[in-house]
Structures are given as structure tokens and as C-alpha cells.
Structure 1
Amino acid sequence: MVLIVSGAIIVVIAAEISQSEKGVNRLSPFARMVNFGKKLTANRVQEWEKYYINYKLMKKKVKQYVQETEQGGKERQCVLKEFARMLDDQIEKTVLFFLEQQGIIAHKIQELGEERTVLLKSPVISKISELREAYIAVGHDLLKLLKFVDMNATGIRKILKKFDKRFGYKFTDYYINTRSNHPYSQLQQVFKHVGIAAVVGALSRNLAELQERQGSYPSIYDQPSTTLEVQDPVIYLIHASVDKLTRSTNFLQFLGKHALILEEGEDQVDKEKYYFVSLMLNLVNTFLYMVNTYIIVPTADDYSTSLGAAATVCGIIIGSMAVAQVFSSVYFSAWSNKSYFKPLVFSSIVLFLGNTLYALAYDLNSLTVLLIGRLLCGMGSARAVNRRYISDCVPREIRMKASAGFVSASALGMACGPALAGLLQTRFKLYVLTINQDTLPGWVMAFAWLAYLIWLWISFKEPVRDAEVKHVFPDDTRRADNEALESGLEQPLLLSSEKMQNDEGDEECNGSDEGQEESHEPATSIASAYRLLTPSVKVQLLIYFMLKYAMEILLAESSVVTSFYFGWSTSSVAIFLAVLGLTVLPVNAVVGTYVSNLFEDRQILLGSEILVLLGILLSFKLTSTYTMPQYVSSALITFVAAEVLEGVNLALLAQVMSSRLTRGTYNGGLLSTEAGTLARVVADGTITLAGYLGESWLLNVTLLPSLIICLASIAATLLTYNSMF
């Protein structure tokens, strides 16, 4: 049943991506939208200059306050009040202007609506065309206003972080707490406003009614949202801008964020670079690898005892794959800078050999051979290549679907692995080889990787590297715009370029206090990447470590715990793990479609951590009896909460991470992978070490570190809560 469901979902994902691929070249409005977006980014609204956040002034004030406090001229409390008052004034100026412009745009739409009502009674083609162009012009005005809000929101974030960094005080916590939750909050108007949605809706509806071909739908409210998005490039871009400002999301976007595939700059992918079959081969590689990871979980304890070891040695057997993955993630990420085909071929060969050794270990009666086989499987982990291919070689308009496909393939592989193990319940001899529930997972996966290698060799198309360079390193002008904005140097957050040239002697204009970000090249080592991590990013990596640790403890010891307490068979364990894996997609559908639009990401983050803590607490054996309902319910709470936590955590991580970690070998995806893999290694090692105390102690001893790490992550989240925005 699990295999049928998984296969059906994979087919649906492939169909979605394929359908989107067909539309890549058909959506000519998208190309026009991108061209307009570039012009919008390049042009400043000069007449709005005085309404922007005066970033340069506030930077100077921060420097002045630091000098005054160091010299004893001002008390800290006085500085906090003065700076807060100045920031209040800046935000109020921006918000009132925004509301004024929003009203002007709404009035224009109202006037055009009156013209539309008259015109539709006696249609004139030329007049309809003129009216439509007038609506599009209003749409451009709305885009300028959205860009205005976005740039000011960036300025507010940057100046708060700069104050904390230079002044050595957590001003952000104080300011967000006192302003964000106030009933008259102007800060919320900048970051999450509601009125703009009504303006966008009115503009979209009126443009839709002026379309030449409307089909059978009476209004936009009866049409699928996808139909609305492609009707005009200005509407498409407005929706993207509103989503960025309000952080509204849907299932596809929420699921895609799990992959932590960071987007940067404009889309430079051409037809020669993108090939649908190559993308599917990457997704199949992801699926097979996750199947390979979890197919041995239900039988690892039985395999270790058959080789003369303790059942808890299953922790080492399962974790040895993660140990090797810590290193393979780095060299595969570096290798993908030059090729995608070669590392995938190498991955398939190594995984074929590793699974073959894993299966042969039974007849050789060698635990060493078994562990070498699992280490080789870990050395074949090409998830870094799979992520990089989607990031670099898939067009922007289907990249989110490809990212969602990556996450779905991982989740389905996680469910299919144990399910396959439950089906492989047989025993016979094939010449000198023993075929049973312990060795069959190795033989099945070895055959699967051999078949995949043949398909890969025949069908994979290596992308054009010249085109890739253009995408990974955008043109100098565009990159300068993006990185200047990140460093707080983008106009009109500062004065005009002419005024800046007159102030060349001013240290603040040079951004000298940006220290570690003077160079905008990608990080060149793990150490340099670590130095780019802010406290909030470090906390999010700790959270990622915690959730992966808790999940690995739950999954890896499930066969030992359920066998000891409940007498479950291998098939029962396999069904239990498969059901857990199948909860991933429906849970994320609910969170992505509904919960994420009702609550902020940081609220969901903290709530999910508390649920993980609750699941861990419920898992402890505190009485003489340990019941199956207690174990199953606690496991379900822990697993589901950890899955929700993973998606929200990676979404927040992508928002606050430095742009230098969006590209290169040592990128944000690699850091999160390393944190998660390290957590799995530590968890599996804990299971084996705890096994020396006896199986009766295994559950509580392994849950204790999970509890401590979870409490630490909650405390760290509360300390950095207001910087997660």
C-alpha cells in the first residue's frame, strides 16, 4: 500500500514539473515581467526620497552613541530612549506615506472602475485596450510602492542588527517587544499589512474582466489561482512582492523550503542548461538514497545479533552511513562546481558496492564487512549534487516545484524503506548466498542502483557550464545591487550617489563596520562559513541538530524498543515506520496551506519545539509498565512536530542567512546537512553506548540527551526570538 501511494505521488510530482516545463517557453509575459523587475530595481523614486528610512543618519547616530557611552558622556538608558524615539519617527514617516500612496492607488482604481462599468455596457475595442493599459500603469505604481516598503523593511532590520552589534546591547529584543505587539503598531504595518491585499484584489479582478478571453468563469473568485497568476506580468510580480512582504505561503512553497535551495538574482537558466529527464534522475537519486538509508532500520538489530553482536549495535550499523555522509557532503558539493554527471555516476557505483558488501556480510559472518558496506553507502550520498542541480539548472518558474519534488522524494523514500523491509520476509539459499530478511535489503538496493546507473548513463545530459557560470555569478550590476542592499548601502536607504561622493571621507559611507562582509565572495571553508553565522542562524542550526537527533533516536532504536517491550515482529516495526513516514506530506500540507498563513514562522517554530519536548517527555518509561499507546502516541507527536519544525526552521534560516552562503561549495544547504548528519551520528552512537547498560535502560538513557538538547534549543529560541523576523 505504501509503495502504491508513494509511486502515485511521484508520478503526480513528475507530471506537475513536466507540465510546468512545457509552460516555460510559453509564458512570454514572465519574460516581460523580469525585464520590468530589473528596471524597477534600477530606478529610484526620486520624489519619494525624503520618505525613505534615513539609514545613513541612523548609522551615524549609532556610531555617535557608541563614542559617547565609551567616554561616559551618556547613560545607556538615555541612549536607548533617544534611538528608539528616532526610529519611531522614521517608521512613522514611512508608514504614513505608504498609507497615503495606498489611498491614492485605491482612488485611481475606483475611478477606473467607474470608467470600466460604463465601457462594458457599450464596448469599444480601442477604449478597452486603453483602459487595460491604465490598469497596468496603476499596477506599476503599486509595484513601486511595494518596493518602497520592502527597502524600508530591509533598512529597519539592518539598523536594529547594527545597533545590537556596535552597542553591545540587545536593543532589538526591547524594540520588537514594545512595538510589534502594540495595538497601534506601525512596525506591523511595514512587515505584515492587510490593506494592500484589497488593492491587489481589486486590480486583479478588473484586469481579469478586461481580458479578451475569459473562458466560462464569471469572476476571478471562481478561477483557480494559477489562472490568475499568468494573466499579466504585472499581476504576477505584484503577487510575488506581496508574498515576500507578508510571508504568505502555500503547500508547494512550504514544502519546497524544506530543501533550503536558496534563490539569488534573476533567472539565467536557458534551454540548453535545463533538461527534464536530468532533473527526474536527480529526484530518483534522492528517493533511492532515502530508501537505502531506512530500509535496514527494521532488521538492523536482528542482523547484528546474527553476526554475534548485541542488538543495540544497530546504532553503529545505521549511523555508520551518516558518519561517511559528513565527509561526502563536502566533496560532492565541491565536485558539483565542475560536473553533475560524474558525481552521480560515482555515487551509484559506490552505493552498488556498499549494498553488495552489506548483503555478503551475512555469509562471510563479518560485522566489519557489514560496516564497510554501510560506510560506502554513506560515501555515495549525492544530496548536495541533487540540491545544487535544482538551484543552478532549473528555471525559476518551476524551481519551487522541483524543490517540493526533492522534499517529497526524500519523505517518500523514508516511508518506502521500512515498507520494503517489511515485504522482504523470506529465506532461501541461492548457490552459496543466503537470501533472508537481513540480506535482501542489500541485494534489492544493489540491483536498484545498478538499474539507476544504466538509466543515468543513457539519459543524463550534462548542463552547459558557461550558462551555469552566468547563473551562479550574475552580472556585476545586478550582483552589486543585491549585495549593496544586504550591506545597507542600497539607495534610497542612503543619500544619492552624488552626495555620497561628497562624503567620501566619512567612514560610515564606506561600510567599514561591516567587517566580515567586505568581501562578497562565497565562503571558501567551513570555518569562513561559520564566521558568517549570526546568533539567530546559529540557534536555527542548533534547532536543526536537535530535531534530527530526536528523530534519529526515535527511528533507529524503534526495532529494539518495540521488540523488548511489546514483542513486535519485523513486519510490525516496518509498518509503524512506514506510517510515520507517510505523515510527512499531509502534515506539511496542513501547515503550509493554513497554519503558516495564520501565524508567524517564529511562532510556529517555538510551538513545534514545545510539541517535540512534549513528545519526548511522554516517551519516558516512568512506571513499571510501558504501554503501546503511550509509545505510539509519543512517537507520533515527536515525529510530526519535528517534521513541521524542520520546514519552518529552514524557511527562517533562508531568510536571515548571509547572501555569501547562497552559493559556492560551503553554502547554507551544506551547513544544514552537516548539522543534521552530525546529529544522526551522535544519536546512533548514543544508542550503541546505552546498549551496554542493558535493553531495559535503553529508552530512558537515549531520551535524556534529547530532552536536554530540546530544552537548550527552546531557551536559545527565546533569547533570539525577536531577531527572527
Structure 2
Amino acid sequence: MVAFGKKLRQNQIEEWQRYYINYKLLKKKVNRYSQQIQVGADNQQNVLKDFSIMLDNQIEKIVMFMLEQKGLLASRLSILGEQHDALVEQSDGSKISELREAYRAVGQDLLRLLFFVEINAIGLRKILKKFDKRFGYRFTDYYVKTRANHPYSQLRQVFKHVGVGAVVGAISRNLADLQDQEGNYISIYDQPALSHPDPVIDSIKAAVNRLSNSTNFLEFLGKHAFIFQDESPTPSEDHLAEQRYHFMSLLLNLVNTFLYMVNTYIIVPTADNYSLHLGAAATVCGVIIGSMAVAQVFSSVYFSAWSNRSYLRPLVFSSIVLLVGNTLYALAYDLNSIPVLLIGRLFCGLGSARAVNRRYISDCVPLKLRLKASAGFVSASALGMACGPALACLFQTNFKIYKLTLNQDTLPGWVMALSWLVYLLWLWVSFREPPRENNKLFPQESYTGLPVQDAVKIDFTQPLLLNSEAELQDNNDDQEFDDGEEDSDENHKPVTSIVSAYRLLTPSVKVQLFIYFMLKYAMEILVAESSVVTGHYFIWSTTSVAFFLAFLGLTVLPVNVIVGNYISNMFEERQVLLASEIMVLIGILLSFQVLIPYTVPQYVSAALITFVSAEVLEGVNLSLLSRVMSSRLSRGTYNGGLLSTEAGTLARVIADGTITLSGYLGENRLLNVTLVPSLFICLSSIIATCFTYNSLY
């Protein structure tokens, strides 16, 4: 696999070569600066000033060419518009067909320009990060802050693509008009979608969305799954994905996700009562709930590794372990044994196959369906989180069958055990193992890309660049120290250990993982201690707690509709990220019980602000994380999904442990004591975000 400099030259449009960013020259300058500073021939201030001027010149060259090309496209559209007006009266079918092809040709050239813009944007990001890495300066922070926020910013022209929307609108409107010449014309402003969408328009819209980071509900929801959407396979790889894909197998993975989340939260409303019945303190519910997360820290790793070879076997194993774990959880009541209860929950955590579910979508679902499957994964998780507590409120009964007690404490275990048994039988009958290729179930390297001419021709619905930005901007594992140097294949293969994965984490990635840790910690504190806190302050029944938690879970999808369709398109992702962190902080502050009596409106409003803000934060955080993370972490066992899962799971473990330890101080102090670490962690994440804010540009 070639280095970025060679990759840039290979993908350039030949007649536009002199207008691209001169990555080779900039890299030479970075190397020369390094030598000059080492021997004392230059100082830091001169280097920063000189390099800033060089970048300004490069960006101005790119922007002036962009404006020139946009002007040419606008001129061509103006001429076509005159021809269009003349044809309205003639209704000549052959002329209309020719005009339609002319508009499509303009669309093809716009695609070429968008490709030009994106590869230059990637080059700019990469050289900035290379400079920071070589010198240890915060040059990117300084450059973006001074250039991107200036009223005459040319840098913003590269990343925001001002004026492209007008060209896209003109092409779309005229193609729609030509398409409806034989029928009743409906303006695109009244009905944006064409009756027969033109592939050129679909391709342009996908490219513009990719460049501007605009999104919709489906895309925003899919980001929560942390499944890499930007990888575009070759036709042969996409055909292989079609062969692997089996709808029932995908459905079984989504059902597994749903049942596991139900299994996680179904015990939350009753865990404190269960621990009291077994002779422990109510706050031991933290350990009961958290023991599942403790085991999940380990299960995520071995399930991720197992999914390299098979899907059916790990899913079968997961179902059996969860069946046993829930049975032990239910039996602990009649055995009057806290150890049996904890062992049952540990077994449930050992059965967490979310890594397998995520991996199946990533590797065995065709690209055209992957976004919907990712959104389905997140939706299944959200519905499971809401259904778990809701089911718990239905188990208000108490009777015996032989020597087995069936009540609100044990029924969650028995119901989930039965559910996993039914699922296991369904899995065994209906799941189809994906076919293997060359004795390997999954390819371990992603596709390296095609020249722009082929990229435009292959599939109009694919993202514009066949190399994802994450691959091209990977700054940790490219060993480019000399121009024209090739990266070794080893530097682009998936990492083979958690230590190797950690070494690839840049400060920006570490901050994003810390933010993920923070939001999961805050959510777990809120959810796990809800039954104890509401019981102490408001004397809520199990049913009331269950309804409250179910209500919180049901807010996930509506909130993502609003954020995905509106907020994320009005503001930059980093702005939404910081605002969400601040809202989480406000929710935590409002949760404290200080001086005045604690009221239900205060608790509910604070919980709602914290939970909703954390949900918004999760989608934006994982979206940014996928962009700044090394491409080597997009595949293999120790991938970005595993790292984020481990960060979130570790947060849950620590949060549940905090609840139990704080319980020794008394239930009257539990709320404030557990909120102090949340407050500190949230403040730390906000400060860390501010320090890396401009590196997320």
C-alpha cells in the first residue's frame, strides 16, 4: 500500500494537477524545519510563521481554482437554461433527451470538482497533523482558530463548500423539469424527490453530505453503532457481501441485541428489593447490576476474536451462557444466596455478543443496506433498554410452583431464561453461517481505492472517495519520513493486541474515548441508583421506577430524530459535542440535593436533561471518533468498536461500584456522593474537549 503522497498523485485529475495541494513540498518543508530546529538554525516562531504562509498560499490556490470551476459550471448551466426555455414550447423528445444528458455531464464534472475538494481537504488535515506530530506543537489548533473563524476565511471554503448547493439545486430542478415534460410538472421545492431519481443527483447528494458532514435521522442513528460506513468495497467484495448476506441471520443478530439490552435493564427496578430479601443492603444493587458489566469487559474481547472465524458458534454459546446465568439469578431467591445471584449476573455478562452483532453488520451486510442495519442495531438497543424496565413492572405477583418462588424479584430471571431458550432454538434452525473465502471468513484489509474516473463510473450511490477519509488521514501508522516512501503492509493491517491499539490513539482519540466513558458513567449512575434514590426520597414503588426508566429509554429515538434531521445540520459536530457535554453537566448539577427538600420535578427534570444530553453526545462523539481514529482500528479483533465498548463498559463497572461503596455512608448521602465523581469527570471531559476542539475540524 502506497504512502499518502503517492496515493494523492495517483488519484489526481491529470489536467488539474497543478491546482492540488503540494503535499510533497509541504512534507519536505516539515522535514527541513525539523533539521533546522535541531541544529539551532531556526526558531519556533519563524517556523510557525513560514509554514502558515505556505499553507495560506496553498489554500488560496485551491480556493481560486474552485471558484473558477464553479463559475464555469454556472456558465454552462446558464447556457443550458436558455436551451431549456426554447425546448419548452417545441416539446421535441430527442432534444429533451440530449439536454438531459448535457445536464448529467455537468453533474459528472461537479462530481470531479467535489472529488478535488475532498482530497485537498484530507491533504490539509494530514499535513497539519504531521506537523503537530513531528514538533509537538499545537499548530493545528492555532491555524484553524485564526483562519477558520476569520470573516475572509479561505480555509472555510475548502471544508464548507460554499456555493455547491446552488449548482446541485440547478441541476436537480432542471432534470426534474425535463423528466416531467410529458406530465404535470411539480417543482422540486414542493416535492424534492424526483419520481425516478437520477443516479447523478444521488451521487452528488451523497458526495455533498460526505464533505459537509450533513446527515439525517438514519445516518445519525447509525453512528451510535460505530460501524464504519465510509468503506467502499470493490465490486468483487460487494458481490461477496451479497453472498454472505442473509436477512434472517441479520434479524437474529438484531434480536440478540434487543434481548441482551432487555436482560441488562429488566432487573434495575427490583435489584434493591432482591438484595434486601437476601440480607444485604439496598445499595448492593450496584454490584448486582455492575457484575454483568464486569464480565462484559472480558467477553467483548473473546467474542470479537471468535467472530473472525464464525458467527453461529459464538451466538449459540452466548445464548447458552445467558440461559444458565438467568436461571441462576432466579434460583438465588430460594437458595437465599447472594453469591449465586452474582454468579448468575456474571454469566449474563459473559454472554454479551454485541461484538458479534456489530461485526456481522460490518462484514456481512451489503453497503447499500449497512446504514439501515446499523440504525436497526441502535434501535434494537434503545427499545431493549425501554422494554426491560417496562416488563419488570408487569411482574407484580407472588406464587410458588413446587419449591420455586415466582415474584417480582425472580420472574425477570425466569422470563429471560425462557426467552433465551426460544432464541437458541430459533438460532439453531434459521441462522446461516456466511461462506468462507480462502479459509478466512473476513478480509483483513480494506480496499485501497480507485482513480477518480473509475470512482465516478462504478456506482452513483457510493460515497465519492473509495478511500475513506479515516484511511487517508491516518497519521499514527504512516511511517512517511522521506518523499515517495511506501508504507509497509504491516502498517495497514489490523492491530493484533490491545497494547498495539492503544499506541495508535492520538490525544484527540483519547479525549473522545474519555467523553464516551463520561457519558456512560453519568447514565449508569442515573439508571442504576434510580430505585434506591426514588425509594428513599419519594417512596416510589417498583412499578413507578419501571415506568420512569421505560420513559427515559423511549426518549432515545425521538431525540435522535430531532438531532439527526435538524441540529446536526445546523451546527458543526464539535459544537454539538461541547454543547451536549455542558448540558450533561447542567443535568448533574440540578440532580444534587442541597438545603431545600428534594422534589420529584427536580429529580425527573435533572434526570431527563442528563439522559437526553448523554444520548445526543453519544451519536456525535462516535461520529467524530470514527473520523479521527486510525484506519487500522476499523477492522480486526481490536477495532474501534471494541475500544469504545470497553470504555463504556469500564465506566458502567466503576459507576456501579461507586454506588455500592457510597451505600456504606447511608442512603441519605448516596445521591450527592455518587454525583460528585460524575461532576468531576464531566468537568474534566469539557476541559479536555476545549484543548482538542480545533483538532476536530
TM-score, scaled relative to structure 1: 0.88
> Residue 573 in 1 paired to residue 545 in 2?
yes
> Residue 266 in 1 paired to residue 233 in 2?
yes
User: Which SS does the other structure have where 1:66 is aligned?
Assistant: helix
Deviation at 1:447, TM superposition (A): 0.9
> Residue 397 in 1 paired to residue 368 in 2?
yes
Aligned to 2:126: 158
Report the count of equivalent residues. Answer: 667
Aligned to 1:621: 593
The alignment-based identity, stated in percent, is 69
Output the amino acid matched with 2:636: G
- Structure 1 residues 506 and 657, CA gap change in structure 2 (3 angstroms): closer
Match for 1:188 among 137, 140, 156? 156
Deviation at 1:486, TM superposition (A): 4.2
Aligned to 2:654: 682
Gap regions ≥5 residues in structure 2: 1-7, 452-464
1: CA distance between counterparts of 2:484 and 2:635? Answer: 27
Instruction: Report matched runs for 1:636-647 at 5 Å.
Output: 636-647=608-619
Deviation at 1:488, TM superposition (A): 6.7
> Residue 649 in 1 paired to residue 621 in 2?
yes
Aligned to 2:197: 231
Aligned to 1:509: 484
Aligned to 1:356: 327
> Residue 305 in 1 paired to residue 276 in 2?
yes
2: CA distance between counterparts of 1:72 and 1:551? Answer: 52
Deviation at 1:286, TM superposition (A): 0.6
2: CA distance between counterparts of 1:646 and 1:214? Answer: 48
Deviation at 1:220, TM superposition (A): 2.5
Match for 1:441 among 412, 416, 419? 412
Aligned to 1:107: 75
1: CA distance between counterparts of 2:348 and 2:310? Answer: 21
Contact 2:445 2:494 (C-alpha < 8 Å) held by counterparts: no
1: CA distance between counterparts of 2:663 and 2:683? Answer: 24
Deviation at 1:296, TM superposition (A): 0.1
- Structure 1 residues 518 and 273, CA gap change in structure 2 (3 angstroms): closer
Aligned to 2:507: 535
Contact 1:301 1:313 (C-alpha < 8 Å) held by counterparts: yes
RMSD of aligned Cα (Å): 2.3
Mean CA deviation greater in 293-302 or 628-637: 628-637
CA offsets 1:221-257 (integer angstroms, 9 cap, x no match): 33354x57x6222221111110111111111110110
Contact 2:122 2:469 (C-alpha < 8 Å) held by counterparts: no
Deviation at 1:532, TM superposition (A): 0.9
Contact 1:269 1:393 (C-alpha < 8 Å) held by counterparts: no
Contact 2:525 2:655 (C-alpha < 8 Å) held by counterparts: yes
2: CA distance between counterparts of 1:591 and 1:526? Answer: 33
Aligned to 2:669: 697
- Structure 1 residues 354 and 484, CA gap change in structure 2 (3 angstroms): closer
Aligned to 1:144: 112
Contact 2:445 2:493 (C-alpha < 8 Å) held by counterparts: no
Contact 1:546 1:679 (C-alpha < 8 Å) held by counterparts: yes
Aligned to 2:4: none
Instruction: Report matched runs for 1:367-446 at 5 Å.
Output: 367-446=338-417
1: CA distance between counterparts of 2:256 and 2:298? Answer: 19
CA offsets 1:256-281 (integer angstroms, 9 cap, x no match): 10100013232634442111111111
2: CA distance between counterparts of 1:470 and 1:557? Answer: 42
Deviation at 1:213, TM superposition (A): 8.8
Aligned to 1:219: 187
Match for 1:319 among 272, 278, 290? 290
Contact 2:233 2:466 (C-alpha < 8 Å) held by counterparts: no
User: Which SS does the other structure have where 2:189 is aligned?
Assistant: helix
2: CA distance between counterparts of 1:144 and 1:472? Answer: 30
Deviation at 1:651, TM superposition (A): 0.6
Aligned to 2:434: 463
Contact 2:495 2:633 (C-alpha < 8 Å) held by counterparts: yes
Contact 1:539 1:717 (C-alpha < 8 Å) held by counterparts: yes
Contact 1:616 1:707 (C-alpha < 8 Å) held by counterparts: yes
User: Which SS does the other structure have where 1:221 is aligned?
Assistant: coil
CA offsets 1:429-488 (integer angstroms, 9 cap, x no match): 111110000000001111111111111111111112229857654556659984899457
CA offsets 1:621-670 (integer angstroms, 9 cap, x no match): 11152122111111111111100000000010111111111111111001
Contact 1:358 1:370 (C-alpha < 8 Å) held by counterparts: yes
Output the amino acid matched with 2:296: Q
Deviation at 1:41, TM superposition (A): 11
Instruction: Report matched runs for 1:467-546 at 5 Å.
Output: 473-474=445-446, 482=467, 486=471, 507-510=482-485, 519-546=491-518
User: Which SS does the other structure have where 1:429 is aligned?
Assistant: strand
2: CA distance between counterparts of 1:721 and 1:489? Answer: 19
- Structure 1 residues 481 and 455, CA gap change in structure 2 (3 angstroms): closer
Deviation at 1:219, TM superposition (A): 2.6
Contact 2:259 2:384 (C-alpha < 8 Å) held by counterparts: yes
Output the amino acid matched with 1:249: T
Contact 1:53 1:90 (C-alpha < 8 Å) held by counterparts: yes
Instruction: Report matched runs for 1:239-258 at 5 Å.
Output: 239-258=205-224
> Residue 292 in 1 paired to residue 263 in 2?
yes
TM-score, scaled relative to structure 2: 0.92
2: CA distance between counterparts of 1:382 and 1:217? Answer: 52
Output the amino acid matched with 1:238: I
User: Which SS does the other structure have where 1:435 is aligned?
Assistant: strand
Mean CA deviation greater in 49-58 or 454-463: 454-463
2: CA distance between counterparts of 1:647 and 1:99? Answer: 34
Deviation at 1:339, TM superposition (A): 1.2
Output the amino acid matched with 1:315: G
Contact 1:265 1:478 (C-alpha < 8 Å) held by counterparts: no
Deviation at 1:373, TM superposition (A): 0.7
Contact 1:217 1:223 (C-alpha < 8 Å) held by counterparts: no
Output the amino acid matched with 1:207: L
Mean CA deviation greater in 653-662 or 474-483: 474-483
Contact 1:596 1:604 (C-alpha < 8 Å) held by counterparts: yes
User: Which SS does the other structure have where 2:405 is aligned?
Assistant: strand
2: CA distance between counterparts of 1:290 and 1:407? Answer: 11
Deviation at 1:170, TM superposition (A): 0.4
Contact 2:232 2:466 (C-alpha < 8 Å) held by counterparts: no
User: Which SS does the other structure have where 1:428 is aligned?
Assistant: strand
Instruction: Report matched runs for 1:44-193 at 5 Å.
Output: 44-193=12-161
Match for 2:521 among 522, 530, 549? 549
Contact 1:392 1:472 (C-alpha < 8 Å) held by counterparts: no
2: CA distance between counterparts of 1:478 and 1:88? Answer: 29
Deviation at 1:125, TM superposition (A): 2.6
1: CA distance between counterparts of 2:512 and 2:470? Answer: 24
Output the amino acid matched with 2:570: L
Mean CA deviation greater in 565-574 or 42-51: 42-51
> Residue 717 in 1 paired to residue 685 in 2?
no
Contact 1:609 1:714 (C-alpha < 8 Å) held by counterparts: yes
Deviation at 1:204, TM superposition (A): 1.4
2: CA distance between counterparts of 1:327 and 1:314? Answer: 21
2: CA distance between counterparts of 1:599 and 1:375? Answer: 42
- Structure 1 residues 701 and 333, CA gap change in structure 2 (3 angstroms): same
CA offsets 1:152-200 (integer angstroms, 9 cap, x no match): 0001100111111112210111111111111111111111123101101
Match for 1:563 among 535, 560, 567? 535
User: Which SS does the other structure have where 1:261 is aligned?
Assistant: coil
Contact 2:397 2:407 (C-alpha < 8 Å) held by counterparts: yes
Output the amino acid matched with 1:254: F
Mean CA deviation greater in 682-691 or 105-114: 105-114
Match for 1:337 among 292, 303, 308? 308
Deviation at 1:111, TM superposition (A): 1.1
Contact 1:258 1:650 (C-alpha < 8 Å) held by counterparts: yes
Output the amino acid matched with 1:266: P
1: CA distance between counterparts of 2:591 and 2:224? Answer: 26
